Amino acid sequence: MEKTVKMRGGVLVDGFWCWLFCRIIIIVATVEAATTAFQTCPAEVPTIRRLSDIHQDNYGRPGLAHMTIAGAMDDGLKEVEVWLQTFAPGIGTPIHRHTCEEIFLSFRGIGTLYLASESSEGKVPGNPNKFPIFRNSTFTIPVNAVHQLRNDYFQEDLQVLVIISRPPIKVFVYEDWSTPHSDAKLQYPYYWDATKNERLVCL
């Protein structure tokens, strides 16, 4: 009998603890749902940098000055990267293509955008179409289009801000406009991504 009572008591106690446990689970779940429906990221301290303090280099390409303003290597960004590039007269990018989106803003000088004339069936880029680039202009590069930006004028530097998606960039480089697409050389990591730059923190 005592055993039965104990058993009943046991059942009651178990029922209470089960009820309490379930209530706690429900309360916790409700509070969680209400307060963390949006899970904030840690509020990291952002670094405010002076552009003039960011590392600039030619990365072995005479006539180029490249600065990664923000991006994958130093900032851990995964979706966007911004460069400031300056091309001396006669200097330009390689002939190349990439699968990422790219936006240019031209701040200084004049130049030429060369863009492959091929159709989608082309085996080689073919003779490029030319587009004049001028100060305070902007343009986007079609994804995977073979292109080259050059400072073809001999008056002053060409300076552009370049925005790309999905950094660090993977570039297929062509020797010339008749290089078959299948012979384009993958260059990865690209010049400035090959080494991590220690940039000055200026806050």
- Residues 135-154 touching a copy of itself, rule: CB under 8 A, are 136-146
- Separation of first and last alpha carbons in the chain: 78
**Residue 100 sits in the site that holds a copy of itself (CB under 8 A):** yes
The type of residue at 28 is V
**Residue 197 sits in the site that holds a copy of itself (CB under 8 A):** no
**Residue 203 sits in the site that holds a copy of itself (CB under 8 A):** yes
Q: Kindly state the greatest CA–CA separation across the chain.
A: 107
Q: What's the Rg (C-alpha) of the chain?
A: 29
Whole-number minimum distance, CB 182 to a copy of itself, in Å? 5
Tokens representing residue 29 in the block: 């779940």
Q: DSSP label at 60?
A: T
x/- mask, a copy of itself, residues 106-125, rule CB under 8 A, reads -------x-xxxxxxxxx--
Which residue matches tokens 């730059």?
Answer: 197
Say if CB 90 and CB 63 are below 8 A apart.
yes
Cα(97)–Cα(147) distance, rounded to whole angstroms?
A: 6
Site for a copy of itself in 61-90 (CB under 8 A): 69-70, 75, 77-80, 82
Give the binding range for a copy of itself (CB under 8 A) out of 10-18, 86-94, 96-104, 150-158: 96-104
Q: Read off φ and ψ for residue 19, nearest 5 degrees.
A: -60, -45
Give the binding range for a copy of itself (CB under 8 A) out of 9-17, 85-93, 134-142, 188-196: 134-142
Where b means 16+ CB within 10 Å and e means fewer, 29-58 reads: eeeeeeeeeeeeeeeeeeeebeeeebebee
**Residue 39 sits in the site that holds a copy of itself (CB under 8 A):** yes
**Residue 105 sits in the site that holds a copy of itself (CB under 8 A):** yes
Whole-number minimum distance, CB 133 to a copy of itself, in Å? 6
Give the binding range for a copy of itself (CB under 8 A) out of 4-12, 22-30, 32-40, 58-66: 32-40
**Residue 171 sits in the site that holds a copy of itself (CB under 8 A):** no
Whole-number minimum distance, CB 114 to a copy of itself, in Å? 11
